[in-house]
Amino acid sequence: MTSHDIPQTMGQQAGRRSWAEPWKIKMVEPIRLMPPEARQKALEEAGYNTFLLRSEDVYIDLLTDSGTNAMSDRQWAGMMLGDEAYAGSRNFYRLEETIRTYYGYRYVVPTHQGRGAEHLLSQATIKPGDVIPGNMYFTTTRIHQELAGGTFVDVIIDEAHDPADDHPFKGNVDLAKLEALIDRVGAEKIPYVSLAGTVNMAGGQPVSMANVRALRELTARHGIRIYLDATRMMENSFFIQEREEGYAGKSIAEILREFCSYTDGAWMSGKKDNLVNIGGWLAVNDEEVFERARNMVVVYEGLHTYGGMAGRDMEALAIGIEEAVQDDYVQARVGQVRYLGDLLLQWEIPIVQPVGGHAIFLDARRFYPHIPQDQFPAQMLAAQLYLDSGIRSMERGIVSAGRDPETGDHRYPALELTRLTIPRRVYTQAHMDVIAEAVKAVYDAREETRGLEMVYEPAYLRFFQARFKPLGR
Residues with a catalytic annotation lie at 86, 138-139, 229, 272, 396, 463
- Of 200, 237, 326, 389, the one binding ligand P71 (CB under 6 A) is 200
Residue 119 or 250: which CB sits closer to ligand P71? 119
The C-alpha atoms of residue 443 and residue 351 are separated, in whole angstroms, by 12
Nearest-approach distance from CB 125 to ligand P71, in angstroms: 16
Burial 99-108, CB ≥16 within 10 A → b, else e = beebbbbebb
3-state secondary structure (DSSP) of residue 269:
strand
Give whichever of 138 and 468 is closer to ligand P71, judged by the CB atom: 138
Among the listed residues 68, 60, 48, the one whose alpha carbon sits nearest the alpha carbon of residue 389:
60
Select from 9, 49, 64, 208 the one that contacts ligand P71 (CB under 6 A): 64
Q: Does 139 bind ligand P71 (CB under 6 A)?
A: yes
Q: Residue 224: which residues within 8 A CB-CB, separation 6 or more? A: 182, 187, 190, 191, 192, 193
414 in Cβ contact with 365 (< 8 Å)? no
Site stretch for ligand P71 (CB under 6 A), options 109-117, 327-335, 371-379, 384-392: 109-117
The nearer residue to ligand P71, 308 or 350, going by C-beta atoms, is 308
Residues in the chain: 473
**Per-residue string for binding with ligand P71, 414-443, x by CB under 6 A?**
------------------------------
> Residue 370 CB, nearest distance to ligand P71 (Å)?
27
Q: How far is the CB of 231 from ligand P71 (least distance, A)?
A: 4
Out of 89, 113, 208, 379, point to the residue binding ligand P71 (CB under 6 A). 113
Counting contacts by CB under 6 A, is residue 271 touching ligand P71? yes
CA separation (Å) from 136 to 139, 199, 329, 469?
10, 7, 27, 30
Nearer to ligand P71, 141 or 353 (CB): 141
Nearest of 175, 284, 169, 167 to residue 238 by alpha carbon: 169
Q: Report how far residue 419's alpha carbon sits from residue 440's, in angstroms, rounded to the nearest whole number.
A: 15
Query: Which one among 69, 91, 194, 231 touches ligand P71, defined by CB under 6 A?
Result: 231
Residues forming contacts to ligand P71 in the complex (CB under 6 A) are 64, 66, 113-115, 138-141, 196, 200, 229, 231, 269, 271, 280
